[in-house]
A = this chain, B = another copy of it.
Amino acid sequence: MAQKPSIPKGTRDFSPTEMSRRNYIFDTIKSVFQNFGYLPIETPAMENLSTLMGKYGEEGDRLLFKILNSGDYLKNVTLGEDAAQGLNKITRSIAEKGLRYDLTVPFARYVAQHRNEITFPFKRYQVQPVWRADRPQKGRYREFFQCDVDVIGSNSLLNEVELIRMIDDIFCELKMGVVIKINNRKILSGIAEVIAVPEKLTDITTAIDKIDKIGLDKVYEELRSKGLTDETIQMLEPIINLGGDNQKKLNCLREFIGTTADGSQGITELQTVIDLLNGLDIRSEVEIDQSLARGLNYYTGAIIEVKAKKVGIGSVCGGGRYDNLTGVFGLPDVSGVGVSFGADRIYDVLNELDLFPEQVHKCTKVMLVNFGGKEAAFSLNILQQLQRSGIPAELYPDTVKMKKQMKYADQKAIRFVLLIGDEEMKTGVLTLKDMESGEQHKLEMEQLTGLLK
């Protein structure tokens, strides 16, 4: 019996139309990266689980796709015994590899592994799929693409400025309005210090991070549930409700946490970035957002997140500075900063706002109608000449009714159709039909190439 064809939930096929739209996004992003001197790398889809485990928290470990060892994978498992010790013990015995969960950890592994071949500061980009065994839902897939760009081996804040400029260039190029939100992890540390519960920093940032999603009241509720006193929460209020332009926010923050070492450092860093950006032509809105923390705990300096205007879809790009990403792989004290563009969400926004340019779909320029053996053989020569002139062209492969051939051209959005019958073979004057205007032209080969080019 025939199988009903299907694919694993949370994964997708991409049709030619979707591909050309996706490639438009990837090409735009890559060309900006290249314009700023970033170079591409690629890492394998599979990494050793020892590389991946423990890097994304407990939930991340659970969401890793694990690959069954080849051959007799049970040979080292004493089933009864190991089963008693729980699933994790068995998993470690039968699966040594996993699919990458993001591009950051493989990149850190890459840098540590290839440190002697790399010129630092290393400016690299990487556009590859990642896999997460998340529950699939609208806009969340189990296979999706990330476009990462990082500089590693430089502490300079010029890198933060550069990342924001690239974000600006990319979304301008895509004609997509965005707000670029920035914060600094040290400001969050300063806040924690001022409210005298530094050990609660993670709880505080995690709660504040949710403000857009769950609202102020629920954030307070969560903070209370994490053991913060009402007094402490009240102290946090001006920070959470900080308003005005970037300079006003910075001044406010300086007043509140300027006396703490971390806070002061964080404000100086943000001020430097804002000042440098003010001297440049940035077309997107750049906004200090003191509630910006992001889930991952490895950021140590700048935190960046980009939100689409007009479409409520979460962030379309995000990242920050991490001071010790490669330490776990034996290369300590290397600072890096980078952001990741979410191609799938960008796709959804461009789609919803109808922002894909029309000419994004690369297609055949002219189709040669197939009138039968002799004509087809003759047409092959014309076809070869057209293609070698750089004109995408095709000869309909089967000798079927004209109507069917025309329908094919129409569905493939091929604008021109070339008719080569007896008369044309005799005279060498070919008949070109413009499917848009309906006009027919009689042309010699040279004229034809000129017109189609």
Q: What's the Cα separation between A392 and B329 when bound, in Å?
A: 32
Is A185 engaged at the interface, CB distance under 8 Å to the other chain?
no
User: Which residues in window 77-114 of A have CB below 8 A to B?
Assistant: 79-80, 83, 87, 90-91, 94-97, 99, 109-110, 112-114
A412 nearest in chain B by CB position? B119
- In the bound assembly, the distance between CA atoms of A245 and B329 in angstroms comes to 60
A143 to chain B, nearest CB (A): 5
Whole-angstrom distance between the Cβ of A328 and the nearest chain B Cβ:
6
Chain B residue contacts of A133, Cβ below 8 A: 70
Bits for A385-400, please: 1 = Cβ < 8 Å to B, else 0: 0010011111101110
Known: A66-B67, A330-B5. A398 touches B156 (CB 8 A): yes
The answer, yes or no, to whether A259 is at the interface (CB within 8 Å) is: no
Q: Of residues 19 to 66 in A, which have CB atoms within 8 Å of B's CB atoms? A: 19-20, 23, 34-37, 39-48, 50-51, 62-63, 65-66
Distance, CA A23 to CA B27, complexed state (A): 13
The answer to whether A359 has its CB under 8 Å from any CB of chain B is no
Min distance, Cβ A373 to any Cβ of chain B, angstroms: 9
CA distance A341 to B92 in the complex (A): 37
Give the interface SS of chain A, mostly helix, strand, loop or mixed: mixed
User: Which residues, 187 to 220 on A, are CB-close (under 8 Å) to B?
Assistant: none
* A279 contacts chain B at the CB level, 8 A cutoff: yes
Q: Does A68 contact B (CB under 8 A)?
A: yes
> In the complex, how many angstroms separate the beta carbon of A228 from the nearest chain B beta carbon?
34
A155 at the interface (CB under 8 A from B): yes
Query: Which of the segments A123-131, A175-183, A298-306 contacts the partner chain?
Result: A123-131
CB distance from A4 to the nearest CB of B (A): 7
Interface size grouping (class) on chain A: 35 or more
A343 within 8 A of B: no
Instruction: Tell me the complex Cα distance, A393–B391, Å.
Output: 33
Say if the beta carbon of A12 comes within 8 Å of chain B: yes
Q: Which residues from B are CB-within-8-Å of A398?
A: 121, 154-156
- Identify which of residues 356-372 in chain A touch chain B, using a CB-to-CB cut-off of 8 Å: 362-364, 367, 370
In the complex, which residues of chain B have a beta carbon less than 8 angstroms from the beta carbon of A99?
Answer: 45, 67
A363 engages B276 (CB within 8 Å): no
**Which chain B positions have C-beta within 8 A of A155?**
398
Q: Is A165 an interface residue (CB 8 A)?
A: yes
CB-CB under 8 A for A112 and B394, given A94-B68, A279-B380, A408-B119? no
> What is the CA–CA distance of A377 and B15 in the complex, to the nearest angstrom?
46
How far, in whole Å, are A450 and B184 apart by their CA atoms in the complex?
Answer: 40
Whether A452 is near chain B, meaning CB under 8 Å from some CB there, is no
User: How far is it, in angstroms, between the C-alpha of A397 and the C-alpha of B123 when the chains are bound?
Assistant: 11
Tell whether A159 is near chain B: CB-to-CB under 8 Å: yes
Instruction: Please determine whether A377 and B16 come into contact, CB atoms closer than 8 angstroms.
Output: no
Q: Does A235 contact B (CB under 8 A)?
A: no
A74 contacts B by Cβ under 8 Å? yes
The answer to whether A48 touches B13, judged by C-beta atoms less than 8 angstroms apart, is: no
The answer on a CB contact under 8 Å between B380 and A161 is yes
List the interface of chain A (C-beta within 8 A of B).
2-8, 11-16, 19-20, 23, 34-37, 39-48, 50-51, 62-63, 65-68, 70, 72-74, 79-80, 83, 87, 90-91, 94-97, 99, 109-110, 112-114, 117, 119, 121, 123-124, 129, 131, 133, 142-143, 151, 154-156, 158-159, 161-162, 165, 169, 276, 279-281, 327-330, 332, 362-364, 367, 370, 376-377, 380-381, 384, 387, 390-395, 397-399, 408, 411-412, 414
Other than the given A37-B394, A79-B79, 10 more pairs (CB < 8 A) read: A4-B329, A7-B48, A11-B45, A13-B110, A66-B67, A68-B94, A119-B411, A119-B412, A156-B399, A276-B377
Can you list 10 A-B contacts (CB < 8 A)?
A3-B50, A3-B329, A5-B109, A5-B110, A34-B362, A36-B392, A74-B87, A123-B394, A155-B398, A159-B397
